[in-house]
Amino acid sequence: MDTDIGALTVIFTEFYYWVTVPLMFLIHVGFCMYEVGASRHKNHMHTVMKNTMLMPLVTITFFFFGWWIYFAFPNGPGITGGITQSDNAVPWSELMGTHLGGPGPALESAQGYGAELGNGFWSRLNGVFWAAFLLFSWTAASIVSGATIERIRPTAFWILAVVIGSGTWIIDAAWGWHPDGWMVTQLGYHDAYASGVIHAIAGGFALGVIVVLGPRIGKFAPDGTPRNINPHNKWLVTIGLFLIYCGFWGFYVACNVPIIDHGTLGGAEGVVNFTATTIYLTPTTLSAIVFNFLMSLSGGLLAGYVVSKGEAFWTYSAGLAGVITASAGNDLYHPIQAMLIGAVGAVCAYKLHFWVERRFKLDDPVGAVAVHGYAGFIGLVICGFMLWGHPATAAYHETVAVITPWGQFAGAIIMFGVLGFLPAFIVSKILMGMGMLRVPPAVELVGLDMSEEIAEEMDAIEVSEADIAEAKRLGLLT
Amino acid sequence: MSTTAVETWAGADLSQIGPIYPMVGTEMILVIVGVLFWLGFHVLQARIERRELDGDEAAARSPERIKRVFEEEARE
């Protein structure tokens, strides 16, 4: 902060990440709208509260331990090394609060990713960078929320939200979305805009929950044929998905580092090359991701319209699936490649959703497993073929790991299966065993908002009786 | 007297100023209080939910009410 260009770089970066946060808030407005639209009237308030309260719970737990996990676990721990000391991210760190960058009482011996970069730099970026990651955490938990509507108990869902939002997803980020993560340096894993680290893991996690949770009452006929429980309000569903598209702009931008000198990362010596990079510190441009976001969205929408025969919910969802499929390599693809990959992902997600529903009798009311999980998985594998041989690691690494189909496939298995499905299945089984996972059948039938509706009826009767009494006092009624 | 490390901004060299939130040094206590606040929420929320579910189940035993719910559902 002691030179004009240094201060401008820091404050620009601080502002850049800050802007991504309100943009990503739109994702959650969208998720709330679309889940409420997809649920029946008798479950509206339960649905919106379930999604709303994940926000404070994931926020505080991400402050307590999620942020530290990201910096402490790039080596596994136990895969390529131990826990990385990360004094910048422990909740009792001075850098986890208002800090001007000067010396503080407890920072003299501080070590860690940010602390090494200098307090002046990190003290101003820690909060905005934390918040950008936190909004990814909300997204991961919110994706799971949609798959569980109309039958999960909030107690259980909020525990599961903390498990993925401040636990498993940030472990996967440390492994596969950190420039020094072991999946990046050993497998050549590449996932620039989170096909796997957010979407495949959240889809896998949702699958793990709904396998244990079971379908909504009435979803399947006695012979196993699925029945359509249609969205109560398709307008709300589609506008909700539209808002998620809007939030994706912040999501994509937050996945980049906006300005950094490539020379300091192992580029040509003595040459100053300022650039934007991916989260792996590999060069890209904002133009690249704008091209590819819009083209993959378009590919998904066009293919989704055709495959769903113009059905609104699935056309919008296919747009999302298109972006998610192309996201792993959207830092590098040609826009037309992004469009085609988006189209392939959208068709696969649509077909797989209905095949899995029929074959395994799984009830995913919003198609979250397909749109996020299957599309994310497929996107990772496609990326392995499309970017085969491209360096996955930044230039400062002595050994260059390259992107390969097998590295991406292994990464997809880890994201969807190991860190997604498996922990969700285990925690859900425990919650089910404790009788905490699912609401009683009678409550599911009468609706999860019944207590509120009865209370509102009582309020209305009380006010009506007061009105009648007043009308009688004024002689308007006898 | 100030609860923060700053008593005046006059002549301050910002490069020599670190944390400026109140009561620097109490971070660990704040973390413990914060974690208890978080866990307390889960305990209290589970109790609230249990009472609500009991109320909902009681309502479901009213044939008139459940019939009304199903009629509304059919109209959606």
pLDDT of residue A367: 96
Q: What is the pLDDT of residues A327-369, one digit of tens each?
A: 999 999 999 999 999 999 999 999 999 999 999 999 999 999 9
pLDDT for A212 beyond 60 = yes
Closest Cα of chain A to B64: distance in Å?
Answer: 11
Query: Once rounded to an integer, what is the mean pLDDT over residues B52-58?
Result: 90
Q: What is the pLDDT of residues A130-142, one digit of tens each?
A: 999 999 999 999 9
Closest Cα of chain B to A214: distance in Å?
Answer: 19
What is this model's ipTM?
A: 0.94
* Cβ–Cβ gap A450/B60 under 8 Å: yes
pLDDT of residue B76: 72
Out of B15, B34, B65, closest to residue A2 by CB: B15
Mean of all residue pLDDT scores within chain A:
94
Choose the weakest-confidence range: A161-170, A249-258, A270-279, B25-34: A270-279
Enclosing H/E stretch for B37: helix B27-60
Q: What is the pLDDT of residues A313-332, one digit of tens each?
A: 999 999 999 999 999 999 99
**Residue A296: half-sphere exposure toward Cβ, Cα within 13 Å:** 35
Out of A91, A155, A442, closest to residue B57 by CB: A442
* Cβ–Cβ gap A159/B19 under 8 Å: no
pLDDT for A118 beyond 60 = no
Q: Which residue has the tokens 């939200």?
A: A161
User: How does residue A121 score in pLDDT terms, banded at 50, 70 and 90?
Assistant: confident
CA distance A240 to A237: 5
Closest Cα of chain A to B71: distance in Å?
Answer: 11
CB A193 within 8 A of CB A284: no
pLDDT for A178 beyond 60 = yes
> What pTM value is reported for the model?
0.95
Out of A57, A98, A448, closest to residue B19 by CB: A98
pLDDT of residue A146: 96
User: How does residue A112 score in pLDDT terms, banded at 50, 70 and 90?
Assistant: low
* Cβ–Cβ gap B34/A91 under 8 Å: yes
Identify the burial level of A71 via C-beta atoms within 10 angstroms of its C-beta, where 0-12 means exposed, 13-18 middle and 19 or more buried. buried
Q: What are phi and psi of A402, to 5 degrees?
A: -115, 155
Query: Once rounded to an integer, what is the mean pLDDT over residues A396-405?
Result: 94
pLDDT of residue B67: 85
Q: What is the DSSP letter of A99?
A: B
CB A401 within 8 A of CB A387: no
pLDDT of residue A197: 97
pLDDT of residue A123: 86
